[in-house]
Amino acid sequence: MHYNYAIELGGAFTTIYAKNQGFVLKEPTLVAVETSDEGYKVKAVGNEAKKLVWKTLDEVEVFNPIANGVIDNFEYAEIMLLDFFKKIKYKKNSNIIILIPCGLKFEEKQLYFNLFEKLGFNDINLVPSVICSLIGQNVNVMSPKANLIVDIGGATTDIAVVNLGSILKGVTIGFGGKAMDIALANALAMSKDSILIGLPTAEKVKNEIGSLYKNDKLNMEVMGLDGETNVPKTRIVSSKEIRYVFESFLEEIVRTINVTINSLPPEISADIIKNGVIFTGGVAQIAGLDDFLKRKITYNFIIDDDPSNSAMIGAGKLLNDPMLLNKILS
């Protein structure tokens, strides 16, 4: 069976890969809906919807129809995806593989089949994104040697042990980059020099000066509202001031990794210790992750060179290797 497309509906972005074309779309997984006396109307999706985050009237809500990898709002997910696929001029009755978190239940997976059938796709198959990430990093996922991968995405974190093309043990933690943005905004609101900021600003702060280095001296000017008077203000935020926000999330991830390794048979654990734990996903780009992990874990680890795209790079390789894809699907 030959497949034409691969798609990942991430907590931050939806990415589509087309066979023989490569990446054809990467837009925020967002829908903007306007309410009126006549009901609900979709105002924008993707890039256009993101422009409206925290910049709209009360009548417009911007949200992600996919919550923690689960289709939370089927109707708006369908409208969003139909818009995305029309942009790339997709062909109906094509075959598609969908990258999903490793912890979905049967009924949650079934929603993906139902959704893509409504969009006009023919043969539909689900592949755990962690397996695609390993393939994207040129790891032999069909090997009997086990690998442990940690994918810290926008909405969830997947921790999975993979060998022989399947997941031996996997867990999905319900937080990722977006939860860090919320925690960062709350931390600044509760700080001594309190400032209220929106999530887009928190995301910008995270991306520009977020760091796990203890001696990092980066800082930036942030605009928001005074926490006491609610009037506009600016203040300087430093990497050092907000480092603990990211550390608390990553310490929880490290604890889960340790529990996972300790629960495995000795032979599997030995493979992982030898091969090293692989870190990928958008949050793996945060400055100082290497330094943090050296302080927190005793085993080897590898940080993906292109953590935001490795899953879709691996999916692209699967589109061009039907034999490997069939082995994984079987």
Q: What is the pLDDT along the chain (330 residues), one digit of tens a residue?
A: 788 999 999 988 999 999 999 999 999 999 999 887 777 889 999 999 999 887 766 788 899 999 888 999 999 999 999 999 999 999 888 999 999 998 899 999 999 999 999 999 999 999 999 999 999 999 999 999 999 999 999 989 999 999 999 999 999 998 999 999 999 999 999 999 999 999 999 999 999 999 999 999 999 999 999 999 999 999 999 999 999 999 999 999 999 999 999 999 999 999 999 999 999 999 999 999 999 999 999 999 999 999 999 999 999 999 999 999 999 988
Distance CA 302, CA 278 (A): 5
Measuring CA to CA, which residue among 127, 179, 183 is closest to residue 153?
Answer: 179
pLDDT of residue 305: 93
* CB 190, CB 23: distance < 8 Å: no
pLDDT of residue 57: 67
Task: Kindly give, in sequence order, each residue whose CB lies less than 8 Å from that of residue 283, ignoring residues fewer than 6 positions away.
Answer: 152, 153, 157, 176, 177, 180, 307
Domain positions in the chain: 5-29+64-133+310-329, 141-303
What residues pair up with 238 in beta bridges, in sequence order? Answer: 219
Per the listing, tokens 């306007």 go with 34
Measuring CA to CA, which residue among 6, 7, 8, 10 is closest to residue 282?
Answer: 10
Q: 5-29+64-133+310-329 and 141-303 share one CATH topology?
A: yes
- DSSP annotation string for 6-54: EEEE-SSEEEEEETTTEEEEEEES-EEEEEETTEEEEEEEHHHHHTTTT
* CB 324, CB 166: distance < 8 Å: no
pLDDT of residue 127: 96
In our burial notation (b when 16+ CB lie closer than 10 A, e otherwise), range 32-62 reads bbbeeeeeeeebbbbeebbebbeebeeebeb
Domain 5-29+64-133+310-329, CATH number (from 3.30.420.40, 3.30.70.100, 2.30.30.60, 3.30.460.40) = 3.30.420.40
Which residue stretches of the chain are H helix?
A: 46-50, 74-87, 106-118, 129-136, 177-190, 199-209, 239-262, 266-275, 289-296, 310-319, 322-329
In this structure, what token pair is assigned to residue 262? 């300790």
Instruction: Read off the DSSP letter of residue 179.
Output: H
- Give the CATH number of domain 141-303: 3.30.420.40
Instruction: Give the pTM.
Output: 0.92
Let me know the angle formed at the C-alpha of 299 by 295 and 301, rounded to the nearest 5 degrees: 85
